[in-house]
């Protein structure tokens, strides 16, 4: 018995002596350095390079001299950029507002229905999330075929149903082009807020709703005073990510409306403007002006995202 105890003690001593203490910072470095390296290569370096390029004059791919804020002034004061910049910015604002309203409203509605009834939940979640796993360029191209006024099935179905007056050139009319692009964008991404809201709803304790029912609150009152406030963190995340995604929009709009934002620039957005300045209309100053536009877009998107994040964090703290 005593001998067994001594053997166990020796084993424990040897095991303890064989283990080496690894500082916590080394463990963190092992996990963080690869991500930091990738972030630096694909985010920080291009951003710093664009900022540097934006302060120089260019002759093709050759720097011709220091320009200061000249490239930025050109975007706001040289035709056609002075008109196209504000037009594209306005369309991006409408694009964000429309997507925010449609995508996130329906995303929350679907999440509530799935949370309440739950029948076929896994299948429906997969069905709603599949579109946003497809590249926006592919989605835009497919929808441009569906909405084609000559052979597209959308107008064919409307004609067959006797709704000839509704069979419009959806992407060829300045009144309908941008709303259609917004609806398609919301359709593609509605599954994303639905998943986030579903996770947030699953995390709300059932006791809160039971207490509201005991106090005599109706279903609408319980949603407005209990559920909605507790969804504030999820609403904040969805809102900020929707803003970032919509002000960076390019692939979907390019596939549905071309590089000029047809028809007549009615779907032009900042992503298309950047593409034209960099590869189509920029001329010898393409690198400087497109870099300046990229910096402006980053500063605006980053700044608004910080303000929005701060606002939602304050709202969240009030609930605690």
Q: pLDDT tens digit string along 235-271? A: 999 999 999 999 999 999 999 999 999 999 999 999 9
Give the CB-side neighbour count of residue 311, counting CA atoms within 13 A: 11
Instruction: Band the pLDDT of 60: cuts 50, 70, 90.
Output: confident
Buried b (16+ CB within 10 A) or exposed e, 264-301: ebbbbbbbbbbbbbbeebbeebbbbbbbbbbbbbeeeb
Tokens 């900020």 belong to residue: 240
As a whole number of angstroms, the longest Cα–Cα distance in the chain is 98
Q: How many angstroms separate the CA atoms of 277 and 185, rounded?
A: 24
- Residue 58 pairs in a beta bridge with 63
Q: What is the dihedral of CA 308, 222, 196, 240, to 10 degrees?
A: -10
pLDDT exceeds 70 at position 159 = yes
Token digits of residue 222:
């319980």
pLDDT exceeds 60 at position 10 = no
Token digits of residue 165:
């007056």
What is the reported pLDDT for 2? 47
Buried b (16+ CB within 10 A) or exposed e, 69-89: ebbbebbeeeeebeebbebbb
Pick from 300, 302, 252, 295: nearest CA to 272: 252
Cis status of the peptide bond prior to 80, with omega within 30 of 0 = yes
pLDDT exceeds 60 at position 7 = no
Q: Which domains does the chain have, with CATH numbers?
A: 75-319 (1.10.3720.10)
Strand 62-66 relative to strand 56-59, pairing: antiparallel
6 or 306, which is more confident = 306
Q: How many angstroms separate the CA atoms of 192 and 104, rounded?
A: 9
Q: Percentage of the chain surpassing pLDDT 90?
A: 68
What is the reported pLDDT for 261? 95
């Amino acid at each position: 018995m005593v001998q067994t105890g001594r053997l166990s003690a020796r084993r424990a001593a040897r095991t303890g002596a064989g283990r080496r203490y690894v500082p916590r910072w080394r463990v963190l470095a092992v996990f963080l350095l690869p991500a930091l390296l990738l972030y630096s290569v694909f985010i920080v370096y291009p951003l710093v390079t664009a900022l540097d390029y934006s302060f120089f004059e260019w002759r093709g791919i050759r720097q011709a001299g220091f320009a200061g804020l000249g490239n930025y002034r050109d975007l706001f004061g040289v035709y056609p950029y002075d008109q196209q910049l504000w037009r594209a910015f306005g369309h991006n604002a409408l694009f964000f507002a429309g997507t925010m309203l449609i995508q996130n409203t329906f995303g929350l509605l679907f999440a509530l229905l799935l949370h309440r009834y739950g029948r076929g939940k896994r299948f429906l979640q997969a069905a709603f999330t599949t579109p946003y796993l497809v590249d926006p360029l592919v989605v835009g191209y497919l929808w441009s075929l569906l909405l084609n006024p000559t052979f597209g099935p959308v107008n064919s179905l409307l004609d067959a149903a006797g709704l000839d007056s509704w069979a419009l050139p959806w992407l060829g009319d300045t009144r309908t082009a941008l709303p259609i692009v917004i609806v398609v964008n919301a359709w593609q991404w509605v599954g994303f807020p639905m998943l986030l809201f579903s996770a947030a709803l699953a995390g709300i304790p059932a006791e809160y709703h039971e207490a509201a029912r005991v106090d005599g609150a109706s279903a609408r009152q319980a949603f407005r005073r209990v559920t909605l406030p507790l969804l504030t963190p999820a609403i904040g995340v969805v809102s900020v990510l929707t803003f970032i995604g919509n002000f960076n929009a390019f692939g979907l709009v390019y596939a549905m409306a071309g590089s000029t934002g047809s028809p007549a620039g009615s779907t032009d957005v900042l992503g298309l403007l950047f593409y034209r300045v960099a590869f189509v209309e920029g001329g010898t100053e393409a690198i400087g002006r497109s870099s300046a536009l990229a910096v402006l877009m980053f500063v605006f998107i980053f700044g608004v995202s910080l303000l929005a994040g701060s606002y939602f964090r304050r709202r969240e703290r009030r609930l605690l």
